[in-house]
Amino acid sequence: MEFGKNFYWGTATAAYQIEGGRNEDGKGESIWDVYSHRDGAIARGENGDHACDHYHRMSEDVDLMKGLGVNAYRFSLAWSRILPEGTGRLNTKGADFYNRLIDKLLENGITPFLTLYHWDLPQTLQNRGGFLNPEMADWFEEYAERVKELYGDRVKNFMTINEPQCVLGCGYRLGVHAPGIKVSLKEQLSALHNLLKSHGKAARVLKTIKGAEVGYASCGYTYAPASEKKEDIEAAYERTFAFEGENPLGTISSFAEPIFLGKYPKEYYEYGEELLPKITEEDMKLISTPLDFFALNIYEGKKVYRKADGGIGEVEPKPGSPKTQMGWEITPENMYWGPKFLYKRYGKKVYITENGVSLADYVFSDGKIHDTYRTEYLRTYLKELRRAANDGETKIAGYFHWSLMDNFEWAEGYKQRFGLIYVDFETFERLPKDSYYEYAKIVRENGKNL
C-alpha cells in the first residue's frame, strides 16, 4: 500500500519565518516587522530581522530540497517585499527574488505551491485598519493581480490565505500575534467577513490563470471517534464542523462553510443584526468562488464519542500522554479522520499543507542531530494519511512537511525547532537532521514502507 501515482511530496515554509532581509532591496515593513520588536511580544525578545537568511541563501536551500527528493514546495510571498506600501508601486528587486526562487525550483523538478498571505500584512495597510477595513478586499485583489502578472506563467498552484483562524483569532481576538490587538465581537465578525471577501477576490483573479488550481489553507481542530461505532463516527464528524459561538474565529466551519457551501453556519446568524456585518448575496457569491482543493494544516486533534443523551463527549488524554515541545497532543489518528471528513463534506481533494513536530533538537557530540521522535511522529502520522488515501472514498493529493528548516516560530521565537534541517541562527549553517534522511526515504518509496 502506498500513495497515488501523482502524489505531491513536499515541505513548507513562510516568508517572514525564514527570509530575513528586513530592510533590503526596497522591502516595506510588515506587521510582523513591527510586532516582533514590541517589548514582551516574542519569547526572549527575538525577532525575524534575519530569520534563516533565506533571502541570501535561497539557492542552497533549494539544493537541500532537491536532496530530499521532494517534487513540491509550499512557500509564501512577503507582500511588502513586492508592494512596499501594500498597493501601487512595484518593488522590482523584491519581485525578482521570487522569480529566481521559482525558476530554481522548476529547474530542479520541484513544483511551486504559492501562498499569497501567510500573516505578514504590509504595515501601511494595517495603519488603515487591516482586516477591519472593508477596502482590504480591494487591496488583496490588487496584490493577487500583481502575483498573476509576475508569476502566473510558471506557478499553477495557489493558496490565498494561510490559517485564517490564526490571522484573526490570534491577531485580532487574543492579541498574541501581529498586529497584536483585541477587538470586540462585532469587529471580529466584520474582520471575518472582510477576510472572506478578500479571499474571494483573490481566488477570482488566480482562477483566470490558465491551468491554475486555487485553495486556501485551513487549520482548526479535527475530531476522531473514540471507537469505530457508527454513533461515535457521526459524533466526530458533527463536532469537526461545529460552529462555536464563543469563538467564531477558531473553527473550520466559520471559513469553510461560506467558501465551499456559500453560506455561514446557521448558528452564525443567531448573533443578530446588532453584531453581524451587512452581508449581501453578491458577497456570498464572491466568497464561494469555486475552489479546486481543501488544504489542511494538521498537528493535533481531539477524540470524541456519542453520549447516551445524544450529546458529544470529549475523551481526555491519558495521564502522562506525550506532548510536543509546543505542548500539543500527539494524535496521528486525526490524520485519517480529518481529511476523510473534509472530503466527505466538501468533495474537494485534500492537501495536508502543514504537519510536523517541534522538538528540543541540538547537535550531538558526533556532529549530527538525532531526532528519533520526529521520525516516529512522521511515520505514524503518514501511516494514517496513507490509510485515508487508500480507503476508496477520500482523495489525498499531497503532503507538505512543516518545516523544511528550523525557523522563527512567531511568538515562540527561535526556541521551537520544527525543521528537517537544523539551523544555527548565528552562523546560518544548515545541517540536515536524521529526519531529513528518513523523509527522503519515505518520499523515494512513495510511502510504501511506513
Q: Which residue do the cell numbers 483585541 mark?
A: 182
C-alpha cell at 62: 533549494
Q: Is 445 a catalytic residue?
A: no
CA 212 and chain centroid, separation: 19
Q: CA-to-CA distance for 157 and 198, rounded, in angstroms?
A: 18
C-alpha cell at 435: 529526519
* Active-site pick, 163, 213, 257, 409: 163
Q: CA-to-CA distance for 189 and 264, rounded, in angstroms?
A: 11
* Active-site pick, 141, 213, 354, 409: 354
Q: CA-to-CA distance for 21 and 34, rounded, in angstroms?
A: 14
CA 94 and chain centroid, separation: 23
109-118 burial code (b ≥16 CB/10 A, e <16):
ebbbbbbbbb
Q: CA-to-CA distance for 418 and 355, rounded, in angstroms?
A: 9
* Nearest CA-CA partner of 220 in 241, 176, 242, 251: 251
CA angle 244/250/256 to nearest 5° reads 90
- What radius of gyration do the chain's Cα atoms show? 21
Q: Is 274 a catalytic residue?
A: no
19 CB-near residues (< 8 Å, 6+ apart): 51, 52, 54, 55, 78, 81
- Write out the catalytic residue numbers: 163, 354
